[in-house]
Amino acid sequence: MLLEESDPQDEDVDIDFHFEETSNIDVPKLLIDQVLGQEHAVEVVKKAASQRRHIMMIGTPGTGKSLLAKAMAELLPKEELKDILVYPNMEDLNNPKIREVPAGKGREIVMAHKMEARKKAQARNMLMMLFVVGIIIYSYFVGQLLWGIIAGIMILMLTRQFLPKEEMMIPKLAVSNYDKEHAPYIDSTGAHAGALLGDVRHDPFQSGGLETPAHDRVEAGDIHKGHKGVLFIDEINTLRLESQQSLLTALQEKEYPITGQSERSSGALVKTEPVPCDFIMISAGNLDAVQKMHPALRSRIKGYGYEIYMRESMEDTAENRKKLVRFVAQEVVRDGHIPHFNEGAVKEIIREARRRAGRKGHLTLKLRDLGGLVRVAGDIARSEDAPLTKTEHVLAAKRIARSIEQQLADRYLEQKQDYSSFLRSGAAVGRVNGLAVMGGDSGIVLPIVSEVTPSMSGGEGRIIATGRLKAIAKEAVLNVSAVIKNMTGADIATHDVHIQFVGTYEGVEGDSASVSIATAVISALEKIPIDQSVAMTGSLSVRGDVLPVGGVTYKIEAAAQAGIKKVIIPKANEADVLIEKRYRDKIQIIPVSSIAEVLEHSLVGPKKNSIVEKLKNITKLSFDVPDVAQAASVQARNCLGYGN
């Protein structure tokens, strides 16, 4: 089956209204109104802001977690903001005092103390100068002028050294919210303990009257700077457990003293009174953050807040396409250096959003990556001095703004073609062109070879798979062995089945190579050749049903780029195919529902019909093939690993 004019990607993008350029699109002023496709998260953030609840957001990077955190800071009342001052403690210099005052008041207090200290210093200096001048005049009249000058200099030096300095009594403004329009938003992603919890600077001059006062060396941490605001921590699980425990204490007590974080620093002896830190914490991360973060910290968030799983796509409706138009306008305004987009360019961005969703009837919500495409297209238009970004600029951006994984996949295909790692014509027994994805958005051809040999042990045979297989891929191999035993009727109990994933240096994960493995093994068992101009992908149930997988668009494009003529995909993924126009005339797409159909389109030779008929009689579907569901599995893949 060829995808032709009836293909959804050929249809014009309908946005229900016409515009000349994105400068005519109104961009909301509040960040919360700029969030796209995360209606549930927006509702939770609004509730959490009004009730001052903590939030944990889990989801794929680029889906709007940090934007929601910034938006929450805008929703908090500005009237509650406070300044925090650190005062010297004359009874115990290593235990500075803390004072909380309304926002902006701290700056006034510090300025007033500085003015008073300056006046006192001027008066003291004037008095000492009069005293020294008097000594010099007296020594002149008694004939001891030299000794008088020396005495005056000594008095000035001693008084400067030992008399208390007025500057030592000036409080330090540790946290200032002077002239801020919104509650503070502090991003503490990757912060070390001192930056997060506060620290005391080391003082190289610790004696002789040259030392810096203890209170002046106190530095507020992000938890204190976020007082009455939002503290955002992405990849929360990367914080050390000690820091997470201290963060939990700060959440519970809403105050946390500042002390030196290094035991070898002079600041280790300094510990302030408890410093207010009544912040709202928004923690974020991928799925692995849930398992690796401190259980007590997560329990605190669950008990006194909300947990949100971010959506990766939204339905492809006219209303949501309008939102993407506004998204492009927002990105242009936010960047400030690229020209606005015309209607054609925006429609091309929407087509790319469909393609990147990888799911029929959906638009991607990985808007950070999509925003990168907007900026690259704008840069190209600006380099040409174009007044508007047009469709051709977006198409050019798609060619040059490729991810690392896409560039690696291209080089991988070039290298494999140079060394003939996979075949594109002819037929071979036990050899099949599988397909996989790299990094979630790049396809590669994955050659799989199978061989059946007598059992080395002389007893029960084994399934031996090589190619750095990971957990899910190993389970897929075992499932395939069950299919072969039940369906072919071949006696493999006394044989070893060898399965090799060729050139998988980064490892293989996922189960979408199941169909490819089964085809290769059946071919090796029955000695029936496989058409090498065919590539395939799909998950296989133990009953022989071909189930949907992720990344079919990228896999098909990789096959077309490699020179392969036909691709077999699960029928449930048929509507997910949104390949680019340059590949459509190069490849034939064959949707299938069972292993029998796979073999019918991939095997060649006189023995083909008998095995196909046999499998057709065995594999009778008694249930509907489920729709593709891939959100969780895509996240589990390694960034540069091979995901099937």
Catalytic residues, which ones?
512, 555
What single-letter DSSP state applies at residue 446?
A: E
Residue 35, helix vs strand vs coil: coil
Under 8 Å between Cβ of 428 and 395:
no
Cβ-Cβ contacts under 8 Å for 516 (sequence gap 6 or more): 432, 433, 434, 435, 446, 448, 536, 537
Residue 379, helix vs strand vs coil: helix
How far apart are alpha carbons 520 and 501 in whole angstroms?
Answer: 11
Which residue in this structure is represented by tokens 């990168």?
372
How far apart are alpha carbons 624 and 362 in whole angstroms?
Answer: 21
Q: For residue 275, what is the enclosing H or E element?
A: none
Under 8 Å between Cβ of 509 and 643:
yes
Which amino acid, 617?
Answer: N
- What is the sign, positive or negative, of the torsion defined by CA atoms of 122, 124, 130, 132? negative
Integer angstrom CA distances of residue 176 from 110, 168, 185, 214: 11, 20, 13, 19
How far apart are alpha carbons 549 and 540 in whole angstroms?
Answer: 10
Q: What's the full length of the chain, in residues?
A: 644
How far apart are alpha carbons 441 and 552 in whole angstroms?
Answer: 10
Nearest of 570, 542, 547, 432 to residue 478 by alpha carbon: 542
Per-residue tokens: 579: 């390949």
Under 8 Å between Cβ of 276 and 227:
yes
Measured CA angle at 459 (ends 455, 464), to 5 deg? 45
Measured CA angle at 283 (ends 278, 286), to 5 deg? 175
Under 8 Å between Cβ of 339 and 29:
no
Integer angstrom CA distances of residue 169 from 88, 104, 107, 174, 269: 6, 20, 15, 15, 20
Under 8 Å between Cβ of 300 and 307:
no
E-assigned strands of 258-393?
280-285, 305-309, 313-315, 362-364
How far apart are alpha carbons 492 and 462 in whole angstroms?
Answer: 9
What single-letter DSSP state applies at residue 171?
A: P
Per-residue tokens: 168: 């030592």
Residue 230, helix vs strand vs coil: strand
Residue 169, helix vs strand vs coil: helix
